[in-house]
Structure 1
Amino acid sequence: MKVTRRPEGAILTPMPIRNAHIVIDGYNLIRRQGTGIKTYGLTLARTLAGLGARVSVLWGGGGPRIPVVREAMLYDRPPKGPFPLGRALRLAAFHTPLFTAARPAGHAPTGLVIPDQKEDDLAPLAHRYYSQPDCYIAAHRLFQLAGIPFRVRFPDRVDAWHATCPLPVQARGARNVTTIHDLIPLRLPWATLDNRVLFYRTVRRALDASDLVLAVSEHTKRDVVEIFGVPPERIVVTHEPCIFPSKPPAAEQQALVLGTYGLKPKAYALFVGAIEPKKNVGRLLMAWRAANPSIPLVVAGGKGWLSKDELKASGPLVESGRLLLASYVPRAHLPCLYAGALFFVFPSLYEGFGLPPLEAMAHGCPVLASRVASIPEICGDAALYCDPTNLDDLTDKLKVMLAADALRGQLAEKGLSRAAQFGPDAYAARLAEAYAKIL
């Protein structure tokens, strides 16, 4: 395999990815508030572009075939409510094996639309935008009803189509790549609202149709091998990277952000994640109350399904000032919140990767985390672990973190070293090596 020589300290990029045209899905990128997969997709796009690839995006939007209008519509919110079955079937009518694939309209960025200045904006690095009205909604309905993937054929040469999660969308004339994050609907079925049968079929189809399958952890890879019987050599593990500014937040910036939430440095504990069953927030709040802390716990995350059940114990804690429900926190605020926390707690019941603990470590924040699924793989010896299903153990470990100054210092130091192992250069090298298998 040929490689291009780069300056000392830089990664060696396999030649095939240089100038390759790769299209990623916009299925999660359109969400106005971040999700784990949206963060993954943005990082993937930036990394591929940094490796020299031309990165384009397939959106599910429509509108007139006027580039500036379609580009402006990228910022529209996705439609809510049920998608009419008849419309889904009409859209999919020519996407069965008996007919041709859909041909999405494509255009280069016009430079006329002022991009969103938020750090998660994709506009500055997009090579082309492709639009196929409602393609993702139609794809799910078509696959649910007939087991047929929604096929697309891009009007330009595309070397690879990369689905950032299993999707019933297949590209003709290009290599197909799929990233699998976790199999939670099958491993923890009570913790999600997913249709289990449809989820299994979607993943099965993605595995069968993909030329390259990426997993975000060795744990996820093992799950795929065990449940779907896929040969291990077909799956490449590319751990997610921890990408944050290399310098800690300035004191003035940190004071400003913390002041927004009424917080003071090293005078709060932090949890980052959605409020839903698998994140175990309900048990965390019970343990926090039992630990009788003198500082508040900041829960930074949007409300997911069954959030009311998870927050049953929140009332007295909020009233006493020992709990702050920060709801959705802008990603730009996270560095200051991580750096300012006394410690970070993450008692999740299951994770395919578990990025928040790694982000906390990167900011010198000591971590208390679950000893389950992929979390020990990611955190190594740089975290204090607990049994997330045992209220007493979680309570005891919270008390330890609240009281043990020396332990927190040791964990913070180990965490910085651990997070460095998941830096952007390491991720880029793994991604380039994986793509070299198919390009």
Structure 2
Amino acid sequence: MRIGYDAKQIFYNKGGLGNYGRNTVFYLSRHIKNHEYYLYTPSLRKAINFDLNGNMDNVTIKTPPMVLQGPFKSVWRTRNIVPQLGRDKIEIYHGLGNELPVSIQRKKNIKTIVTIHDLIFLRYPQFYKDLDRWTYKKKFLFSSEIADTIVAVSKQTQQDLIEFYKVSPQKIRVVYQGCDQLYFEKRTQEELQAVREKFNLPENFILSVGTIEERKNLLTVVRTLFHKRIDIPLVAVGQRTEYTEKVREYVKRRKMDNRVILIHNASNYELSCIYRMAGMTIYPSFFEGFGIPVIESLATGIPVITSKGTCLREAGGDAAWYINPGSMEEIGHAIQTLSNDSDKRAEMIEKGYKHVRKFTGENVARNLNRIYNYMK
């Protein structure tokens, strides 16, 4: 079967959507070899290096014809790609990042799938700019309506699609994400020490991973460390936003510069090493579509503290410690307990290793392949 993918995020997004796309194609090309995978991207100029470790025999990368490059390449991706899909004899087109091209529904011989990651912009509009919210609503609703099948990355996203967009439950399939194979691999002490020296990391620290934005709630963790007098450094790895400056201002005002380290440029490999050096991970997000840092923590053998009442329990199962993300009392208690109780840490790590097996790349690939075969 010939399967096409919207690959812009794969080549130009270093964050969650990009990781999802890269992992998905890597897992499929490695574990499901009887399909041909076509990656459609508006450009490869200054693109992220997408290394498939030699699994390129069944993967083809496609860019716009010369006449549609330059200022027209974005239009090609959203509107003019459909004739190209026909010429390539694509049987299924999968929008990996919440979108499908305009007019693809007119190609009756091409089945369509869209992965919807979350509808947080509808549930928590205060975290988004008006224009972004309007754009997301329009794109996500269109893709949800015309897709033959919707892949939701969690049961929470499935329920949000039903609640906000009135999508039929029969149209939605839940396929959990996996995390990069890097996080399952062991690291030597030499590798860890090299990363420790590069980022000047302390011997023991609490780790926070994810874009440093208001919804991820990093400032509450910093405030907890100050008010509860917890003398453990915090290392936060994630993309910088306007909210980052609020965190920096608080850190400077409370003279916590030597206790809070912000890192914005770590590679996936470096991040996998940073996880393994951490004493614990904290991920007190107010809301997520899934929560990959929870899975990454479990895969690297690190206890994780995360939020109650969201889809994060789908990611963490019985292996995580769940807290009210707005409660410094609960966050402080969890940190202090995991710092002092070695038996509790060991129990959580053991449960984590068992739980994370369901998120392996092979499972992700086989679950998606069942959907592709059903649609054929």
Q: Decide: shared fold, TM above 0.5.
A: yes
Counterpart of 2:266? 329
Counterpart of 1:211? 148
Q: Distance in 2 between matches of 1:288 and 1:122?
A: 45
The verdict on how the C-alpha distance between 1:185 and 1:230 changes in structure 2, with shifts beyond 3 A counting, is: same
Checking the alignment, whether the CA contact within 8 Å between 1:291 and 1:398 is kept in structure 2 is no
Q: Aligned AA for 2:82?
A: V
1:158 and 2:94 are equivalent in the alignment: no
Counterpart of 1:422? 359
Q: In the alignment, which of 29, 32, 37 is matched to residue 55 of structure 1?
A: 37
Deviation at 1:291, TM superposition (A): 3.0
Counterpart of 1:179? 115
Between 354-363 and 166-175, report the one with greater CA deviation: 166-175
Aligned structure 1 segments of 4 or more residues deviating by more than 6 angstroms: 120-123
The alignment's C-alpha RMSD in Å is 2.5
Q: Aligned AA for 1:35?
A: G
Identity percentage of aligned residues:
22
1:395 and 2:328 are equivalent in the alignment: no
Please say which structure displays the higher CA radius of gyration.
Answer: 1
Q: In the alignment, which of 25, 38, 50 is matched to residue 6 of structure 2?
A: 25
The verdict on how the C-alpha distance between 1:192 and 1:122 changes in structure 2, with shifts beyond 3 A counting, is: farther
Counterpart of 2:201? 263
Q: Distance in 1 between matches of 2:324 and 2:27?
A: 35
Q: In the alignment, which of 248, 259, 270 is matched to residue 186 of structure 2?
A: 248
3-state SS of paired residue (2:98) = coil
The verdict on how the C-alpha distance between 1:120 and 1:408 changes in structure 2, with shifts beyond 3 A counting, is: farther
1:191 and 2:133 are equivalent in the alignment: no
Q: Distance in 2 between matches of 1:327 and 1:183?
A: 26
Q: Aligned AA for 1:153?
A: P
Between 122-131 and 410-419, report the one with greater CA deviation: 122-131
Checking the alignment, whether the CA contact within 8 Å between 1:290 and 1:395 is kept in structure 2 is no
The verdict on how the C-alpha distance between 1:163 and 1:121 changes in structure 2, with shifts beyond 3 A counting, is: farther
Cα deviation digits, residues 360-406 of structure 1 (max 9, x gap): 11111011111132101110110111100223322332222332222
Checking the alignment, whether the CA contact within 8 Å between 2:41 and 2:61 is kept in structure 1 is no
Deviation at 1:308, TM superposition (A): 1.9
The verdict on how the C-alpha distance between 1:433 and 1:135 changes in structure 2, with shifts beyond 3 A counting, is: farther
Counterpart of 2:176? 239
1:169 and 2:169 are equivalent in the alignment: no
1:46 and 2:16 are equivalent in the alignment: no
Checking the alignment, whether the CA contact within 8 Å between 1:293 and 1:402 is kept in structure 2 is no
The verdict on how the C-alpha distance between 1:122 and 1:289 changes in structure 2, with shifts beyond 3 A counting, is: farther
Which 5+ residue runs of structure 1 have no aligned equivalent? 1-19, 62-73, 78-114, 143-148
Counterpart of 2:297? 360
Checking the alignment, whether the CA contact within 8 Å between 2:29 and 2:56 is kept in structure 1 is no
Deviation at 1:21, TM superposition (A): 1.5
Matches within 5 A, 1:45-194: 45-50=25-30, 51-52=32-33, 53-61=35-43, 74-76=44-46, 116=49, 119=51, 124=56, 126-131=59-64, 132-133=68-69, 137-138=74-75, 152-154=82-84, 155-170=87-102, 171=104, 172=107, 173-193=109-129
Question: How many residue pairs end up in the alignment?
Answer: 361
Checking the alignment, whether the CA contact within 8 Å between 2:154 and 2:290 is kept in structure 1 is yes
Checking the alignment, whether the CA contact within 8 Å between 1:180 and 1:214 is kept in structure 2 is yes
Which 5+ residue runs of structure 2 have no aligned equivalent? none
TM-score in terms of structure 1 length: 0.76
Matches within 5 A, 1:264-343: 264-265=202-203, 267-315=204-252, 319-343=256-280
Q: Distance in 1 between matches of 2:53 and 2:185?
A: 22
The verdict on how the C-alpha distance between 1:151 and 1:121 changes in structure 2, with shifts beyond 3 A counting, is: same
Deviation at 1:328, TM superposition (A): 2.5
Checking the alignment, whether the CA contact within 8 Å between 2:192 and 2:277 is kept in structure 1 is yes
Q: In the alignment, which of 2, 17, 34 is matched to residue 14 of structure 2?
A: 34
Q: Distance in 1 between matches of 2:42 and 2:111?
A: 20
Checking the alignment, whether the CA contact within 8 Å between 1:276 and 1:310 is kept in structure 2 is no
Q: Distance in 2 between matches of 1:329 and 1:372?
A: 30
Checking the alignment, whether the CA contact within 8 Å between 1:300 and 1:326 is kept in structure 2 is yes
Deviation at 1:28, TM superposition (A): 1.3
Q: Distance in 2 between matches of 1:412 and 1:406?
A: 10
Checking the alignment, whether the CA contact within 8 Å between 2:225 and 2:231 is kept in structure 1 is no
Deviation at 1:151, TM superposition (A): 5.7
Q: Distance in 2 between matches of 1:76 and 1:415?
A: 37
Q: Distance in 1 between matches of 2:357 and 2:252?
A: 39
Q: Which has the higher helix share?
A: 2
Q: Aligned AA for 2:111?
A: R
The verdict on how the C-alpha distance between 1:198 and 1:231 changes in structure 2, with shifts beyond 3 A counting, is: same
3-state SS of paired residue (1:254) = helix
Checking the alignment, whether the CA contact within 8 Å between 1:369 and 1:384 is kept in structure 2 is yes
Q: Distance in 2 between matches of 1:202 and 1:311?
A: 34
Checking the alignment, whether the CA contact within 8 Å between 1:346 and 1:368 is kept in structure 2 is yes
3-state SS of paired residue (1:153) = helix
Deviation at 1:289, TM superposition (A): 1.8
Q: Aligned AA for 1:187?
A: R
Q: Distance in 2 between matches of 1:362 and 1:327?
A: 22
